[in-house]
């Protein structure tokens, strides 16, 4: 069943997670330094949890708030959603994620370069 409202909900919820998660990491560097400390990890974790919590609260009743293609694939495998909706959710999640990353790049082009995003080099 095609549900554009649910697709939009998934895109917005994923946008929120992908925008606020990395934004928190970028903003944590000036506050906590480049080393991962207990305080910085706690700050970053709370921000990610808040983004997911708000997404679930706001959009859970519309789409189930998968927010992640891995969750959507799990729901497809267990047949809790149909293939058409699953593909629509995944496309919407990818659009939301890429849009959020592009927004961050436009807003903070130099600060993003200071974060190694999990790499060790």
d(CA 85, CA 91): 10
Domain that holds residue 78: 4-113
Residue 121 forms part of a structural domain? no
pLDDT, tens digit, 9 for 90 and up, residues 55-92: 999 999 998 889 999 999 999 999 999 999 999 999 99
Q: What predicted TM-score, i.e. pTM, was given to this entire model?
A: 0.85
Q: How many domains does the chain have?
A: 1
Residue 120 forms part of a structural domain? no
Residue 75 forms part of a structural domain? yes
pLDDT, tens digit, 9 for 90 and up, residues 17-29: 999 998 888 888 7
Residue listed under structure tokens 């995003």: 117
Mean pLDDT of the chain: 86
Please report the pLDDT score of residue 38 as a whole number: 84
Does residue 24 contact residue 48 with C-beta atoms inside 8 Å?
A: yes
CATH of the domain at 30: 1.20.1080.10
d(CA 95, CA 11): 6
CA 57, 18, 77, 88: dihedral to nearest 10 degrees?
90
Please report the pLDDT score of residue 112 as a whole number: 60
């Amino acid at each position: 069943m095609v549900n554009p409202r649910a697709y939009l909900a998934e895109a917005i919820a994923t946008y929120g997670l992908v925008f606020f998660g990395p934004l928190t990491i970028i903003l944590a560097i000036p506050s906590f330094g480049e080393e991962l400390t207990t305080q910085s990890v706690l700050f970053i974790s709370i921000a990610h949890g808040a983004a997911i919590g708000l997404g679930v609260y706001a959009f859970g009743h519309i789409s189930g708030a998968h927010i992640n293609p891995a969750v959507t694939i799990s729901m497809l495998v267990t047949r809790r959603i149909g293939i058409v909706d699953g593909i629509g959710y995944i496309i919407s999640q990818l659009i939301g994620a890429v849009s959020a990353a592009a927004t961050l790049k436009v807003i903070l082009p130099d600060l993003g370069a200071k974060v190694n995003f999990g790499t060790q080099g």
